[in-house]
Amino acid sequence: MSNRAAVLLGLFTGAVLVVLVPVGLFALVILLRLVNVPPEPDGPPLVLPYSRLQGTWQDEEGGRIVLAADGTFTATTICGDYSDDVTGDSSGFGLPATMTGTGTWESDVYTEPDRVTGLFTEFAPGHVSGQLTARGTAESPLLWTFVGDPDSGGLCVLKKADARP
């Protein structure tokens, strides 16, 4: 093989590697993302009326939030994914993943991609907030959210602690 043929073969091999290596890495990242889908609690998205949200909800670590009919709440070390509108911090990034305090709450029903209730909390004095989504069944509702980066797999799951119909 002549020197010229060897150089051309080397350039061709290098060009193929320059194209195939990034394409292969991109495909690997997509595959890992599909395989590493963060878990979600059991049950389908759920629509809960305002009256069913009221009451006491508890997380797996014993944190509790009591949602009152007047739109206020009291929370004790309740898990969640919180954000601070003033500092821009969020849970896992400068803000804790549990909160204690009082504040206000409201709910809304989303229609896309599924009909589901969203619960919004705002801790007094009004700059730290959180959001949970309803899942499960009418008999066994859950409120949940990812904590921090969803890829980390951190979940906050609240179960209804009182037996209100």
Condensed to tens digits (0 to 9), the pLDDT of residues 112-153 reads: 888 899 999 999 988 899 999 999 998 999 999 999 888 778
Q: Hey, where are the domains in the chain?
A: 1-37, 50-160
pTM: 0.74
Condensed to tens digits (0 to 9), the pLDDT of residues 96-109 reads: 999 999 999 999 99
DSSP secondary structure, the chain, as one string: --HHHHHHHHHHHHHHHHHHHHHHHHHHHHHHHHHTPPP--SS-B----HHHH-EEEEETTS-EEEE-TTSEEEEEEEE--EEETTT--EETBEE-SEEEEEEEEEEEEE-SSS-EEEEEEEETTTTEEEEEEEEE-SSSEEEEEE-SSGGGT-EEEEEE-S---
